[in-house]
Each structure stands twice: as structure tokens, then as C-alpha cells.
Amino acid sequence: MADQDIKKARRHVTQNEALIFERSAPGKDSFRLPPLDVPAVDPAVVLGAGAVRGGIEGFPEVSEIEVVRHFTRLSTWNYGVDTGAYLLGSCTMKYNPKINEVVARLEGIANAHPLQPEELSQGCLRVMQRLAECLLEITGMDAITLQPAAGAHGELTGLLLVRAYLESKGNPRRRVLIPDSAHGTNPASAMQVGYQTQSIASNARGTVDLAMLDRAMNEDVAALMLTNPNTLGVFEDQIAEIAAMVHARGGLVYMDGANMNALVGVSRPGDFGVDVLHLNLHKTFSTPHGGGGPGAGPVAVKKNLEPFLPVPRVVEKPDGALALDYNQPQSIGRVRAFYGNYGMLVRALAYILANGRDGLRQSTEDAVLNSAYLRKGLEGHYELPYSSPTLHECVFSDKRQARHGVRTGDIAKRLIDYGFHPYTVSFPLIVPGALMIEPTESESKQELDLLIDALQSIAREAEQEPELVLRAPHSTRVGRLDEVQAARKPILRWKPANGG
Amino acid sequence: MADQDIKKARRHVTQNEALIFERSAPGKDSFRLPPLDVPAVDPAVVLGAGAVRGGIEGFPEVSEIEVVRHFTRLSTWNYGVDTGAYLLGSCTMKYNPKINEVVARLEGIANAHPLQPEELSQGCLRVMQRLAECLLEITGMDAITLQPAAGAHGELTGLLLVRAYLESKGNPRRRVLIPDSAHGTNPASAMQVGYQTQSIASNARGTVDLAMLDRAMNEDVAALMLTNPNTLGVFEDQIAEIAAMVHARGGLVYMDGANMNALVGVSRPGDFGVDVLHLNLHKTFSTPHGGGGPGAGPVAVKKNLEPFLPVPRVVEKPDGALALDYNQPQSIGRVRAFYGNYGMLVRALAYILANGRDGLRQSTEDAVLNSAYLRKGLEGHYELPYSSPTLHECVFSDKRQARHGVRTGDIAKRLIDYGFHPYTVSFPLIVPGALMIEPTESESKQELDLLIDALQSIAREAEQEPELVLRAPHSTRVGRLDEVQAARKPILRWKPANGG
Amino acid sequence: MRYLPKSPEERRAMLAAVGCDSIEQLFAGIPEPARLRRELNLEPGWSEPEVLRYFLERAAENARGFTSFLGAGAYDHFRPAVVDALISRSEFYTAYTPYQPEISQGTLQAIFEFQTLICQLTGMEVANASLYDGSTALPEAVMMAVRATGRHRAAVARSVHPEYRQVLDTYLRHQGMTIEEMPYGEDGRVAEGALAKAKGDDLAAVVVQSPNFFGVIEDVTAAAALAHESGALLIVMIAEPASLGIVRPPAEADIVAGEAQSLGVPLSFGGPYVGFLATREKFVRNMPGRLVGQTTDANGERGFCLTLATREQHIRREKATSNICTNQALCALMVTIFLSTYGKQGLRELALQNLAKAQYAAERFERAGASRRFSGPFFNEVVIRGVAQRGTAERLAAEKLIGGLELGRYYPELAGDVLLCFTETAPRDRIDRLVEIYSS
Amino acid sequence: MRYLPKSPEERRAMLAAVGCDSIEQLFAGIPEPARLRRELNLEPGWSEPEVLRYFLERAAENARGFTSFLGAGAYDHFRPAVVDALISRSEFYTAYTPYQPEISQGTLQAIFEFQTLICQLTGMEVANASLYDGSTALPEAVMMAVRATGRHRAAVARSVHPEYRQVLDTYLRHQGMTIEEMPYGEDGRVAEGALAKAKGDDLAAVVVQSPNFFGVIEDVTAAAALAHESGALLIVMIAEPASLGIVRPPAEADIVAGEAQSLGVPLSFGGPYVGFLATREKFVRNMPGRLVGQTTDANGERGFCLTLATREQHIRREKATSNICTNQALCALMVTIFLSTYGKQGLRELALQNLAKAQYAAERFERAGASRRFSGPFFNEVVIRGVAQRGTAERLAAEKLIGGLELGRYYPELAGDVLLCFTETAPRDRIDRLVEIYSS
Ligand SMILES: Cc1ncc(COP(=O)(O)O)c(C=O)c1O
Ligand SMILES: Cc1ncc(COP(=O)(O)O)c(C=O)c1O
């Protein structure tokens, strides 16, 4: 399809911009502080000459307007949720409400020091307490820590809890079972907790193969790490049997909550046998992803694991005031300094309060409806490797397009020309050439119809003019980047021309 | 020159976006208020059935994320000072400091009601007083009003002052003299004050022709309206003689301060015979132009005109507290409700305080240096109709390019492809096919070198491939717009498809 | 100076390039007597923390944390967070007037949407891109009526915002106009017969405000009938357009103009606000101010540009319909975002809540024995008779309240009466407290 | 719900399109026992004004308008207004990890600049795109040393941030490591001989922090020498990188890691912050976390992309160098903007002012008879001996002051001593008052 026939996007002039170091010139005035109101000191005298450094070689010297233009121009090369549909499967790129950015910056919150006296931090602690209560109700779990900084950090924390619990029972066990559809962080986290991982092949329906599990699940297995709905968007319909089997043999069920957006208000992990669960506030609860973080990965557990949660914990004193309790003899300790990515907790609570029970439920329904609508619109144009019913996302494969040499990565690049941020390409591993698409509840029918049009059109292009797709994107300021070269001889930082 | 050879800009994918009304769908949830905490009322009962309206036909019904994407997408179609050089001559598009946006939004300032008690408004009044003091020192005038909302509003105010003063002397007179290089607002403002305008032709040096002035200046002339430096960027070097002549014959000298950016810290209108002067805070003093306002056009006067200034005026009470004084029997009255575009006054003061005497002077020097550097780089490539020394801006003409059928408007459009916001094209009228370029102090040498390259390259293109220039811009999401059609049958608002 | 992108070395290089050995030479064009040969008598530049501290200190000298019951042309309604988030896009607020449409479509489309929203609100056919504020919109509207009718007399209701009328006087002083004032009656509306008295074939315009300065909704239909009988134009001013969420628009008017601050623009001690002016298609060429129109580009794509500029000063000069150039574009954008966010239901809910609060307050005053000065229907403002002495600034401030406006300042005959405004932002208990103070 | 862009009608149409007559059918895949058959026990949704009010009330329950002298891993330095203005560009903060480089060049180039700035600050050759925070950067660094050396013992100074060491214990508990603690001496630095004692050919890493938790600058050169003698890596942790504006970078280290919050990230009650990790080129393939590299596109244009991903979990899974996926990109962007704005001179001035303030305060304490606990050179933090009882939270709060950290909480042997931080934000008169309270 020709440029001008693309409905959603058009090309427009944008600014080039060098590296900030290349803008620098010696002696340009930059940011200044108020005059010093105490006597100046000679660092060489105070610290010893050997301990003092001179000006930093190559460090930027630019004026304020150059900083502003530099980062403003850079920003225009990006695509965000505010730009349009951001289809990364498993990432839940939903709308980030603007009021959340306001409340996280309020004086009294944004400038609160983590170690200031508890009497002067009651508001901050109340927010943590209220968020904890909401998340426990939503998940059906008994206790929670807000300390982990992201999903993978939550996995590490959760598995440490599993291990501590099992140790307290006398045997930490040696292995963790992980379905082959799982995200890479799952095995990586298990390994960091000293567990060997064993992969469980999925069955024809894309879910855990009970027979397989039966064979693998024994007294040596600490836990089954399950993503539910799994990374195909399919709910583990045998979850009851799975949980029963794992529990019967003394193991625990860990749930990766990355896909909670399919369940909020509809189904609670605490009600279907999960012992440990991590949430991604930067997915399900709308905290902005920031171009790669910060996130927040609270871990919720059942009563029996509560004693092992990280310190400190927020507790209520007899007089109703809140305090931080460090006295938890069985605790695994700390997984992070202070209390977690607090600013993200504020935003997540704002999101929950604004939605309320009705809005949260409606969001889940819309997310699932959007995914179903999309799946319907693409069936027949792309291969659907698993026909099981899906919830918040659906995973196609490039099988048909591959016949013309067009792979999922090419389709993704071409989708950029159509004005969308592509879906997830390299995951889940059980689907060769996967197109993993998660629209979330934030997309309108109009945006989805444009997306369906676009992907149908690309499917046609793949047959009729594969070259067009293979050389995509054609509309971006830089074309396809040579990632091989980047990895072969890595250039990981700027160096002065003179090679300083 | 081919796209990829343009150093400063490249094309990139951007989003299309319909009108907000076209995004609307009945029943979409939008913004909500807290539940009403008093009894609801039936408007038909309270106001009478006839006085009540139903839902507003065609009014938008959209969700928050659609609003956010709508205006975010629209913004990406714009070019601002933060994007790059904004060369509009006479508009002084300089950097708008970010801290100014912060202070204008502080609680206590942004939410201050104009009629709240003076005791509860001392901070707001202090800002006005301090700004007034600074502007008087910068201009060398004796008294000032901050009430006018923009430059043209300032002109109206200033001429009303002139008229009131002359009336108090017995004869308001009938005419105002305006050089032919003046901005269109000057004659338009004069007419609104009931004066006939008489145009004074400029001499070969682009300045006021003394002989002409001598002939025109008589007892019937209320004032000479001068822009200094004038719209060619040339300082009226005979200003002393001019002022003497006008004063000798009982007239007043009004100065349009749009070009004060050339003079701050270097020359003061109050020292060279100006009686009335308006400033454009949205030019010289960095308040953001907002896509066409708000601005602020304070008017400064000499002592003899002070009694006529608009009410209210900020005065200091014996106890040092500030108050608003409405008791000015000779005042021309009000030119605006309340006290002016207050938020712009805050920003202008922040700019003045941040610069201080040293920064203001340096800014003027850099602005003039930038213009001189640019003029030097373009001489020989574009026709320079007046060779007089220029200050903050320089005006070329398209005479040479016109031979190839390429006019200033075409060159401007082509400059867009090179990544710049064009200069002013339709002004000043004394230069046919004018290129009126004002770089301001905010442009770096690098940005200016790119601009010189670009304009030299376009000059070559005009000779070698005029078609390329005539059909420009080529890089924008919409091409040249048909402005004739727009004016012939105006479509000035959206209508529902059904033609409601 | 940190805002200036040049090193000393670069300045030297540029000076050399232009063949000067001192910056002084660049100013040689300015004759010596006109030169300032000393430093400005201002402080040296301040660092950013110092600038911030200065304004924090000033802000602390103003009311903070008060509940205010002031309206009178400046209204406090809740501004959704999206408004500031979106106008803070620098492509919007650091842009100039959209003279180059190919790189200004964002501003242009937004203004086109603003013009449409104003038409929908007012029931008019065309609206301009904004004027300075409501007060200057009044003389612009009257001068437009003069152009349209060729007549030079206007009848203006005394219940129009007093400061608007002051601005009208100042603007029209030298236009050879006669302006007559139409008194108000017991109901707070234009008095019986006042309209009739104004009649005449030299009448250019009848001007009423609705809701008027007393918060009372005028009988626009009657005013229109009488104006049109004389072949004059009816100008309806609106200072509180939130009322249009529920109040029938003045569709019989020829010009509807006013102040849109109430729809998303901060109070900011009186400005910047945003005037609007809407009318019928047939008067479009008499309109002041900028207009954005829809058109197409070379490929037939829809686009927007400034249009009908031949009305304006930069082309028409002294024959222009107005001298206005820079207007209030960014405030118009705030209004456009505000209205898009509230939307059809939201704006109606906003109006209904204001109506209910004002009714509640009036009732409370009634119960407390303080009566309304006027009997006419009102939106969110009401005049309470003779309570000014009790509601002193001191007593109110002690309770973190800012009371209403004492009317004697503008209307000697109403000295002691207080104009109070009740919006959705005033909690019930604060209203109750206010009533107690004013009535005890 | 106002965030959801659908009308009831559109929902019906979409349901019909997918052939369902109720939304329930879409959840049929969830077995009944797993379904929640009641509403969540949460309040109904709040309007935006209610959400804002809730957080305003919470904010008011915290310290506001206080001058704080707390550091201990979280530092208050002035953040230029441009930082928030620029990170608020939604193309930055609403984007995901830059998996699609052609529409993520903004994030990618900014991270590349961050990596460069960290190298320049620390004197290292490569830096990653960020880690969660300083505390988690420590175990990541130690595990990296383990990979690089194949050894499993680490010697960690007791003067490293106590919470960082707690996190290290938690992370490494199941990695079969032995971790030894190196005591501190009278000067507050790693004690004489402690390093020597740690020696051995099974030693993977020596870990010191500089400035350390007591604010004292360690002798990195000595530590490096001893570490290298054993063929171990020297890891230098930095919690207050503003010190690098004036303090010589630990160029002899093999890994420099830490916390960059101090450079433009709000205190925000402890997070989000941003960990960094830098090292020598030869160790790059052992590094944890994301890396952005420079490359070219089809036309030879410079561009940036994520690289060396084979180290990472999504490819290497259980063999990855770390499990980290989402990091702290937006905080890294804050640091990049902060450092670009302060620049070469600004950062030096910042460091010098902190140095001067701390020196001034220490002197005042000296004069007031309160002595420093440690004799070593210090940057902007200092431990004052035995003044905790006098500086009670109550006495301090009465003066709108937040005092230092009582050290007994982390170091029983230092009970009663107080760790105080003095940055450019602490006015002289507030420092004087603080000293009075602590010493009377
Ligand atoms: C299924 C799943 N699990 C875990 C993660 C890791 O979460 P995080 O990136 O927050 O560490 C992701 C992230 O994409 C994921 O999709
Ligand atoms: C020389 C001159 N005078 C007057 C004006 C009018 O100022 P404003 O647009 O603020 O009304 C302008 C605006 O461009 C101008 O350039």
C-alpha cells in the first residue's frame, strides 16, 4: 500500500540532533546555584590534593535552551501510549492517567525523605497501607510486600519466600518447574535463588500438560512457576488440578502476575490455589513504563508465608498511628533499600481509587473484549497456532507469511509505517514466529479497526510485494538498524573525537 | 538538494487525527465531578422550562485517553521555539525559561481571584510593583500601566493617553504620523482613537525622512508613531532631531517597543525623546507566545502623561502595604477588566530577575551579534535593499530569486524542509518580497551556521531547480494549503455529517 | 547567562566573522546621546533557586487554602489535570501565531475546534479565534454592530459587568457614539420599558448580559424582539459560560460575546483570560479578530489556515475591523481541552451542580433571615441584601473564607449588598459557615 | 469509567462481532470455581477532584516546609525545572523498553548519553542502562565479580550502606558465597590490616563505599592494590555521586556501582531511584542489565539499539547474567538531563558547595563542643558523637527541622551518634540552629 493510502499515519519533518557531548563548547554558561552563604573551602586542603579531581574530561557544557531542545527533539523520535496503540503483548501498555503524575509530585510526597521520623511520614505510610489492602482484595491473598522494584524483582522475592518457607519446614528442595511458555525472567530468577529449573512442555491447547506435570512433580520440587493466564493469553483451565497436585506433593504454586489485567474483578489467584504471586504495577495498574522503568513488583502471599516477608513492614500501632516494623525474625531480609519504588505505589493507588470496583471490572472486560475483537478480525489472515479461548491477548504466528520469506519481525517493522507500535515478536518461545498482541482496554473501536485493516493489508503485501515488508519501515527517520554490527564491535559510549 | 543531504531535519512517521467531534460517540464516559453534597434541583422548576436547554447538539463525548491522544497528536504537527530556530522577524521568538512556567503556577498565584481582599493579595501586588520598577529602569520612562493585553492593545492605550493629554491642553488634534515601514496595528490603533493617519515615506536609508516629517508635522498632528529600531532593524539615527521637531510643534513621540530586544541595557527610549512607549512582554521579555497569545503590552510614559494612566494603579500605603488606587480623576479609565494578563507579568519578572542587568545586556548583545552574523552570511546570496547598519534583525528581498519566479513565500516554504520556522514574509511593506529575519539571542552559532547553509542552498536551488522551491514544502504532513479556497467559501466550524 | 547558548570563544569567532573587534561596533548605529553609558540599575542575575524562592515568598503573601465565594467575572471551576498536561506541550505554548500552516496544523485545528465549540455553546453560526477578554469583547461587539448597521447609538443594560462597561466607555470615547444605560428592575433584569425607551432607527445595538452581573438570567427573547424592531443588533454578553451547560443559549441574538475563563483558565489574579465573539454567518466579514478556516492541500488533504485576513490590520491597516493581532490562543486551547474533557454530560453536570449550590445557599440565607436583593432566576451567583457589614474580611479570613463582593463599589444604590458565587468547588459545610457569618 | 474509550453501543457492536451475546461468554475459559462471583470489596470509582483531595490530605500528614539534614543514601539537591518539564514529554514516560529502535531513538540516544556520563563520572569504560537502585547494584556487582573470577568469597567493608549490605545478604544467601565484613577504623575508613586479612586466592571481590556510609572518603588506591594482589576485583560503591564533581573518581576499581538518585531524582520516600554499574571493557560480557550500543541503519545513518542481549534473561534464561528486565529508565533520563543542565562547571560548583557546607557545620559543632566521631576526610556527611538524646525529633520539629540519623539503628557500637548531611539546600542560619539544638 502506498504512503498516502495509509489511514493512520503520515510523514512529517522532524529535527536531527547530535549527542549532547557534540553540542558542548568550553565556557558556555550552564545552571548556577545561589551564592555560597558559608566560607568557601579549598578542596585540596580539605580532602588532600590526591583526592581531588579536575574538570571532567568531555563532560557537557551547554546552555539551558540547548538542553531543552536536545531532549525535546529526542522525545519526538519516540512512540508512547499517548501517541497511539502500543501493542506489546504481555506488557499491558494502557493509558497512564495525568492526575497520577500530579499527585505523585505533591509537596509532602515527592520531597519526603525515606528516613524522616515516622510521625512526619504518616501520609506516606497510609498510602502504602491503603494500596496493600486494595491489592490483597483484588488478588485474594493474605499478606503483601510492596518492596520489589519490578516484576523480575518480585519473582526473586517470591522464590526467596518459597525457599525460606520450605527451609522452615526442613527441606528447601532443589527444583522449580517452569512451563516452556514462560517469560525468561522466571528461570533466571529461580537460578538466583539457587534452584535448578525444569521446563514443562505445554500441551496442544497451550496449557500445562497435567501428565507431564505429574511425572515432574515430586518431593524434589519446590514450586511450580505459573503465568496465568499464560503468555498465550489462555487461562489454565485445569488450575485446580494443577494446584492440588503441587500441594499434595509439598510444593508451592508461584504465579507470575504479569497478566493480571485479564483477571482483576473477575478471578482471584488467592481463590484458585496460588501461594505466592507478584504483580506488575507498571502493567495492570497503569504506572507509566518510562521507556523501560521504573516499575513496581509487589509480592502477595498466603498466610503461611507471611512471616518470611521482607522488612520493614507497615504496621498499625495501638493508637492508630502507622509505623515501620523491622522486627520479623523469620524475614528473608531486604530485597531493596528503603520501601520500594514509592512513587509508583502512589500512582497505582490513584488508579485504583479512580476506577473503583466498577471501573476495574469494566477495564478487565474491555481489555478482554478488545483482544477477542482483534483475534476475530485477524483470524483467516494470520495463523492461530492455538485455538483455545484467550483473554486479554492473543498470539498469532507468521507461518503463512513465512512462505513468502516474511517473518514476524518484518511484519512488525511494516506495522510501524501504518502508525502503530508493534506487538511482541520474540516471545513466547513455544510459538515460532509469534505475533503476541495485547491491545488493553485503552484502545477504542476506531483504533482497533485501523489495526485490523493494517494487519490485513500487511498480510496482502506479504503475498503480493514481500520486498515492501522486508525493507520496512519506510516512514521512520532511521531505517532498520544493524543490530549484528552493534553486538559484534560494541560502541557503548561516546568518546571525544580526539579519542580521550 | 535531496532530502537526505539536509543536515538539520528528516521525515518521521506521525499520527493522523480527526476532529474531536469526529471522535465522539454517544454515551462515552467523560470527566466526572464528586457527588453533589446539596439537594439536586430541577432546572425547569428553578429557571423555568423555557430557559433550560437539552444536551448540546454535536458536543464532544470522548474519554480521557482520547482527549490526551487527540491534543498530543495535534501538538506534534506544530513547530515551537523548543523545536528549533523560529525566525519570524519582529516577533522576537526567544527561549521561554521553564522555571517561569513553574512560578506562574504556584498555589497562591495561579489561584488568586482578582477581587480578593488586598490584604490577601500583597504578594500579587508586589510582583506588579517590582515588574513596573524594572521596566521603568529599562526604558527610562517615569510611569507605567501593566493593563494592556498585547502590543496592539498597548498602542490603543498609548494613543488614548496622547489624546487625553492633548485634550487637557485644549486641543486633541486630528492626525497621527506613521512611517510607511510601520506594522499594521499602528494605523489601526490610531483609527480606533479617532485619529486620521498620515503615512511618512522612508528615505533611502530606510529611516524617517526629516524633510518629509518637516512638511507633515504641524499643529494638527497629535503624535508621530515610531518603531525604533524600525522594522528594518535600523535605529533612527536622527531620533534627536525627530523628537525635537515633533515636540517643538506640540506633538508627542509614541514609540512602538516591539523591537526593544535590540536596546535593553544599551539605549533607553526615555533618554531619546520618547513620550509614550508600549512593550511586548511576549517578545522582549520571553513570555511564551502560546500559538498566538496571551501576550502583555505595558505602556510606559513620561511624567506629564502619568495622570491619564488607566485605573486601577498599584500604590504603596503609608504602612508599606500595597493597594489598588481607583481615584485618578484624569484617568482614561479602563482598557481591560481587572489588571491585565497577570500570569504573563509573573513570567516577565522571572525572566528579568534571572537575567539581571548583566544577563539582559548580554542578551541584547547576542541578539544583535546573531543578526549581524546572519546578515554577513547571506549578503551576496540575497538582495539587501537597505545597506544601513542593522541591530537585532535584518531584512533581505527576493529580488534576485524573483527573476526565476521564486518569491519570498516560496523560499519560506522551502526553508521548512530544511528544518527551520521561516522568517516574516509579508512585512515590512516598504520592501517588496521581504525576508525579515530575527534570530534573537537564543540561537547558537551551530544553529545559525545551519541556517546560513540552508538559505544559501535555497538560493542555489532557486536558480538551478526553481520547481523544487515553488512546490515546497515537501517534508510536511500537509502540503501547501489552498488559502484562496479557504477565503472564497469559508468553512469556519465543523458541522455534523447530517448537517445539524 | 545560562539561557544564552554561546561560549566566549564563539562570540569572538562571530565578531571576527562580521569584521568587528568589539561588540560596541555593532551598536555604532545608535547615536551617542541615545546610548546608555552605565549599567542598568538592577540586581545581577539570580540563580534558578533564588527566582523560585522569590515567587514562593510572594505566593505566601497571598490567600492560600481559602474557600472563596467570589465570582463577578472570574470563576473557580475544577480544571482536569489533562488541561495543564496538554497545554504544556511546548509545540503548543512556544509557537507563534500560525502564519505558516504547514507546520502549525496543531494550533490551527485546535482553534477550529474552539470556534466550533463556541458556536455550539452559544447557538451562533461563526465564532472567532478569541479576543483579549470579556471586557474588550464588548466594545469589539458594539463596533461590529456599528459597522453592520451604520448607526451610532447603543443601549447597554446597567446589569452588564461594570468593568466591561468601563472598558466600553474608554474604547468608544472617540468613535462618535452615544451610549445609553438601561436600568434594572426589582427582578434584577433590564427594567420594564427600558428597552422600549431605547427604540429608534438610529439604534445600532442593544446590549444585555446573561447571566447578568447580579447572576440573574435575562429575558433574551424580549430583548431580541425590541432590538430587531428598531433594526438594531442584539448583543448578548456572557461572563459565566458554564451556565450554557444548562441555560438555553441566546439563539435570537445577533452577536454573543464574552469571557471564557470559567471554562478551564486559571484565576491567576485576573488574567490571562480569553474573550470570545460569535455571530451569524451574514456578519462574518464585519467580525474582529482572527478566524481559522478549513481548506485542502495540493493532494486534496484536509487542512486548516488563517482566513478572511482582509478584515485585519496587517492587510487593511486603518480600515481594519479591529487592531487586535496577538490574541489569547493558549487560553482558547485550555477551553477547548476543558470542554472536550467534560464533554456533553460533564458540562451539563457542572452547570447543574452550580445551580444546585446557589439554590441551596440562597435558601440558607433566606432561612437565616437574609434575603435576596433580586427576584429573577439566577445561575450560580446571587445578591444578598445588606449583609456587607457583618461579613467583614477579618471575620471571614479568620475562618479561611473569602466572602462576596460588596456592590457599593460599582453600584452606589446597592451599597451594603453582597454578590456571592457558589460553584461546585464550595463544600456544603463551608457554605453553611459563610451564611452564619453573614447573618449573625 | 472516564479512562475507557467506549460507548455502551460500541461494546454491544463489538460483542456482536465476536459472536457473543454477553461479556460473560468471553470469560468462559475460566472454570467456575476460579471465578469471583461478587463485586470486589472496594469503593466505587472516585472522580478526579476526590482523588486529588485524598492525596492532598495524605501529603498534609507528612513533613512540609521542613529543612532536613538527612542523607544516608538519599540526598536532596536542587532539581532544575527543566528536568520535570522534559521527562514529562509523554513520548518519554509513556513508552516501553526500546525494543523497536526505529521508533525509540529518543530513549535509546538518551540512555547512550547516560552510559557515557556515568563513565565520565566514575572513570570507567562502560556503564549499563541502569539497575533498580544502589542497594541491588551491590549484589549485581558481586555476582559479576564471581562470574569474572570464578571465586566465591567477598570482603565487604562495614562502612558500606547497611541496607545495601542487607540486600547483599538476601540476594547471595543461596549462591554459596562467603561474605566477610571488614571493620572500620578511628578515621572511619576500612581499618588498617582489615584488607590484608581478607587476602587469598579464593577472594572474588573487595567491596568498599566512597564516600562511605559515614561520609568518609575511602583510600581506594590502597583497596585496589590489595584486591589485585589476590587477583580479586575491587568494587567501589557510590551512594552520593554528587561527590564526583570534586572527588577523584575510583579509577583503579574494576567495578564502580551505586545509586544516582542524588543527581536529579526526587526523594519520593525512597523510590523510584536509579542504580548504576560501570566497569572495564574487558568485563562487559559479564555485566548485568541492559546496554545501548551505537550502530548504523541501511543508509549508514548513526542510530542506537539495545545490544549484547545474549547476556540477558529473555535470551539466556537461567544462564543470564541477571534476571533484571525492566530497570529505571526514566530516572536515568532525569540524571542525564540533570547532569547536562548543571554541566562541567555546575556539577563542580554543586560539589564544592556541599563540601563547604559540611565543613562549616562540622566546625560549628566543634566549637559547640560536639566532636566528629571519625577523623577521615568527608564530603557532605559527617557523624557527630553522642548528640542523639539532645536532638529529639520533637525539639527539632518545633523548629521545622529534620535532624540526622541516629546510628545505633544500624551500628549498635555507634548508638547515640548522629549522621548528618549538609547539601547546598541547607541555609547557614538553619545549620546554626541545628547545631544549637544538638549541642545544648
Ligand atoms: C510474563 C512476564 N513475566 C515477567 C516479566 C518481567 O517483569 P519486569 O520487566 O517488570 O521485571 C515480564 C515483562 O515483560 C513478563 O511479560
Ligand atoms: C512592530 C510591531 N508592532 C506591533 C505589533 C502588534 O503586537 P501584538 O501582536 O502583541 O498585538 C507587532 C506584532 O507582531 C509588531 O511586530
pLDDT band at B500 (very low <50, low <70, confident <90, very high): very low
Residues of D in contact with B62 (CB under 8 A): 5
Tell me, using a 6 A CB cutoff, whether residue A152 lines ligand 1: yes
Cβ within 8 Å, pair D85-C88:
yes
Distance A152 CA to ligand 1 centre (A): 6
Q: Where are the beta strands (DSSP E) in A122-174?
A: 143-145
- Asked if residue A464 has pLDDT above 70, the reply is yes
Over its length of 440 residues, how does chain C's per-residue pLDDT go in tens digits? 999 999 999 999 999 999 999 999 999 999 999 999 999 999 999 999 999 999 999 999 999 999 999 999 999 999 999 999 999 999 999 999 999 999 999 999 999 999 999 999 999 999 999 999 999 999 999 999 999 999 999 999 999 999 999 999 999 999 999 999 999 999 999 998 999 999 999 999 999 999 999 999 999 999 999 999 999 999 999 999 999 999 999 999 999 999 999 999 999 999 999 999 999 999 999 999 999 999 999 899 999 999 998 888 777 778 888 999 999 999 999 999 999 999 999 999 999 999 999 999 999 999 999 999 999 999 999 999 999 999 998 999 999 999 999 999 999 999 999 999 999 999 999 999 999 999 98
Residue B62: closest CA among chain D residues belongs to which residue? D5
Phi, psi values for residue A314, rounded to 5°: -80, 125
Residues of A in contact with C2 (CB under 8 A): 29-32, 63-64
Which chains have at least 3 CB atom pairs separated by less than 8 Å from chain B? A, C, D
Ligand 1 atom with the shortest distance to the CA of A150: 10
- Asked if residue B2 has pLDDT above 50, the reply is yes
What's residue A5's pLDDT?
86
Q: Where are the beta strands (DSSP E) in D199-274?
A: 203-209, 233-238, 255-259
Ligand 2 atom with the shortest distance to the CA of B297: 10
Distance B282 CA to ligand 2 centre (A): 10
With beta carbons less than 8 A apart as the criterion, state whether D256 and D120 touch: no
Q: How many other CB atoms are found less than 10 A from the CB of residue D200?
A: 14
Report how far apart, in Å, the C-alpha atoms of D355 and of each of C194, C414, D426 are.
78, 65, 12
Residue whose C-alpha is closest to residue A290's, from D308, D336, B71: D336
- Asked if residue A500 has pLDDT above 50, the reply is no
Calpha distance D39→B389 (Å, rounded): 78
Cβ within 8 Å, pair A31-C2:
yes
- Which grid coordinates are listed for D97? 523498553
Tell me, using a 6 A CB cutoff, whether residue C59 lines ligand 2: no
pTM score, whole prediction = 0.98
Q: What is the mean pLDDT of each run of 10 residues along chain D (440 residues)?
A: 97 97 96 97 98 98 96 98 98 98 98 98 98 98 97 98 98 95 97 93 97 98 96 98 98 98 98 98 96 95 94 80 94 98 98 98 97 97 96 93 97 98 98 96
∠ CA B335-B338-B339, nearest 5°, is: 80
Tell me, using a 6 A CB cutoff, whether residue A261 lines ligand 1: no
Ligand 1 atom with the shortest distance to the CA of A283: 10
Tell me, using a 6 A CB cutoff, whether residue B258 lines ligand 2: yes
Residues of C in contact with A63 (CB under 8 A): 2-6
Residue C341: closest CA among chain D residues belongs to which residue? D2
Please name the member of A32, A65, A97 whose beta carbon is closest to the beta carbon of C47: A32
Ligand whose nearest atom lies closest to the CA of D97: 1
Spell out a b/e string for C190-225, using b for 16 or more CB atoms within 10 Å of the CB, else e: bbeebbeebeeeebbbbbbbbbbbbbbbbbbbebbe
CA distance D85 to chain A (A): 9
Q: Pick from D96, D107, D321 the residue to mutate for testing the A interface (most A CBs within 10 Å).
A: D96
**Rounded mean pLDDT, B351-363:** 98
- Asked if residue B233 has pLDDT above 50, the reply is yes
What's residue B498's pLDDT?
63
- Asked if residue B104 has pLDDT above 70, the reply is yes
- Asked if residue B422 has pLDDT above 50, the reply is yes
∠ CA B333-B338-B339, nearest 5°, is: 85
Ligand whose nearest atom lies closest to the CA of A298: 1
Please name the member of D5, D91, D307 whose beta carbon is closest to the beta carbon of A444: D5
Residues of C in contact with B47 (CB under 8 A): 217, 246-247, 355, 377
Calpha distance D235→D277 (Å, rounded): 10
Tell me, using a 6 A CB cutoff, whether residue B132 lines ligand 2: no
Please name the member of B24, B70, B123 whose beta carbon is closest to the beta carbon of C58: B123
Calpha distance B300→B279 (Å, rounded): 8
* Range of lowest pLDDT (A1-5, A422-426, A428-432): A1-5
Tell me, using a 6 A CB cutoff, whether residue A90 lines ligand 1: yes
Residues of C in contact with D85 (CB under 8 A): 88
pLDDT band at A421 (very low <50, low <70, confident <90, very high): very high
Distance A299 CA to ligand 1 centre (A): 14
Residue B32: closest CA among chain D residues belongs to which residue? D47
Tell me, using a 6 A CB cutoff, whether residue B280 lines ligand 2: yes
Which among C314, C325, C330 is the best mutation to test ligand 2's pocket, defined by most ligand atoms within 8 Å of the CB? C325
Chain D (242-261) residues lying within 8 Å, Cβ to Cβ, of chain C: none
Task: Please tell me the residue having the least CA distance from ligand 2 atom 16.
Answer: B90
Residue whose C-alpha is closest to residue C324's, from C336, C314, C334: C314
The average confidence (pLDDT) of chain B is 97
CA distance C323 to chain B (A): 5
Task: Please tell me the residue having the least CA distance from ligand 2 atom 5.
Answer: B151
* Residue A378, burial from CB neighbour count under 10 angstroms (0-12, 13-18, 19+): buried
**Residue type for B324, please?**
L
∠ CA B220-B225-B226, nearest 5°, is: 140
* Residue B108, burial from CB neighbour count under 10 angstroms (0-12, 13-18, 19+): buried
Taking the CA atoms of residue D300, residue D301, residue D306 and residue D310 in that order, the dihedral angle to the nearest 10 degrees is 10
Residue B15: closest CA among chain A residues belongs to which residue? A9
Q: What is the DSSP string of A178-218?
A: EETTS-THHHHHHHHTT-EEEEE-B-TTSSB-HHHHHHH-S
In terms of DSSP bridges, do strands A175-179 and A196-200 run parallel, antiparallel, or are they unpaired? parallel
Tell me, using a 6 A CB cutoff, whether residue B182 lines ligand 2: no
Cβ within 8 Å, pair B82-A76:
no
Calpha distance B377→B371 (Å, rounded): 10
- Asked if residue B77 has pLDDT above 50, the reply is yes
**Distance linking the first and last C-alpha atoms of chain A:** 49
- Asked if residue A498 has pLDDT above 80, the reply is no
Spell out a b/e string for B465-490, using b for 16 or more CB atoms within 10 Å of the CB, else e: ebebbbebbebbbbbbbbeebbbeeb
- The pLDDT tens digits for A179-202 are 999 999 999 999 999 999 999 999
- Asked if residue B61 has pLDDT above 60, the reply is yes
Calpha distance A95→A91 (Å, rounded): 12
3-class DSSP state of C236: strand
Distance A424 CA to ligand 1 centre (A): 12
Q: Where are the beta strands (DSSP E) in C30-173?
A: 67-68, 126-127, 153-157
- Element holding C347 (H helix, E strand): helix C329-367
Which chains have at least 3 CB atom pairs separated by less than 8 Å from chain C? A, B, D
Q: Number of C:D CB contacts under 8 A? A: 13
Residue C56: closest CA among chain D residues belongs to which residue? D65
Q: What is the DSSP string of B205-223?
A: TSSB-HHHHHHH-STTEEE
3-class DSSP state of B394: strand
Task: Please tell me the residue having the least CA distance from ligand 2 atom 14.
Answer: B91
